[in-house]
């Protein structure tokens, strides 16, 4: 069983903490707006599913690492991960490219040092560039061409 030794991580004015039920409305809004951006970049707009459905379907609350980023008291992003996979990473569009995603990813990697993969939708260049800037290299591509598998280590 995993025991977290840190309850909060603060970097550059961004606080990373465990998800709380009271974060739901903010996380739902962030996911739904950021997911639309992600799908648009990949040319897959028709694949959109709102978080209220996707969270249940994909077991969001079963991930052992579910964290939110907070700035000035407002939730600005969230991440979910397992011991092996950096999974959900969404940032409010107004906060993109301001360090929130990087802070969330760095925290997940710190808490789960055995993470070794992530999937990125093909066409999501901002995400690919973020992961590559953190030293995460692409090793293979799914034959369907929809996702790139990123092996972290």
Tens of pLDDT, residues 25-51: 999 999 999 999 999 999 999 999 999
Q: What confidence score (pLDDT) does residue 119 get?
A: 82
Q: Which domain holds residue 32?
A: 8-114
Output the six-digit token pair for 64: 């052992």
Q: What residue spans of 47-140 are helical by DSSP H?
A: 51-57, 100-111, 125-133
| Total domain count, the chain | 1
As a dihedral over the C-alpha atoms of residue 41, residue 74, residue 18, residue 28, rounded to 10 degrees, the angle is -50
pLDDT of residue 147: 44
pLDDT tens-digit profile of 96-147? 999 999 999 999 999 998 888 888 888 999 998 898 888 765 544 444 444 4
Asked, for residue 130, whether it belongs to a domain, the answer is: no
CATH number of the structural domain spanning residue 101? 3.40.630.30
Q: What is the pTM of this model?
A: 0.85
Nearest Cα neighbor of 148 from 60, 52, 134, 132 is: 132
17, 27 contact by CB (below 8 A): no
CB atoms within 10 A of CB 2: 8
Interhelix angle 100-111/125-133, rounded to 10 degrees, is: 50
23 in any annotated domain:
yes
What whole-number distance in Å separates Cα of residue 143 and Cα of residue 128?
18
The CB density around residue 70, as the number of other CB atoms within 10 Å, is 21
Distance CA 11, CA 131 (A): 18
In this prediction, residue 132 carries a pLDDT of 83
């Amino acid at each position: 069983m995993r025991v977290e030794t840190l309850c909060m991580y603060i970097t550059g004015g961004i606080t990373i903490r465990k998800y709380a039920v009271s974060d739901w409305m903010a996380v739902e809004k962030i996911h739904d707006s950021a997911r639309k951006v992600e799908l648009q970049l990949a040319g897959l707009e028709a694949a959109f599913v709102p978080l209220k459905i996707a969270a249940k379907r994909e077991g969001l609350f079963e991930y052992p690492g579910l964290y939110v980023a907070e700035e000035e008291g407002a939730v600005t992003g969230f991440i979910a991960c397992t011991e092996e996979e950096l999974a959900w990473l969404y940032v409010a569009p107004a906060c993109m490219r301001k360090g929130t995603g990087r802070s969330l990813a760095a925290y997940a990697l710190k808490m789960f040092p055995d993470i070794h993969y992530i999937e990125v939708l093909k066409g999501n260049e901002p995400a690919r560039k973020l992961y590559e800037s953190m030293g995460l290299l692409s090793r293979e591509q799914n034959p369907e061409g929809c996702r790139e598998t990123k092996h972290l280590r």
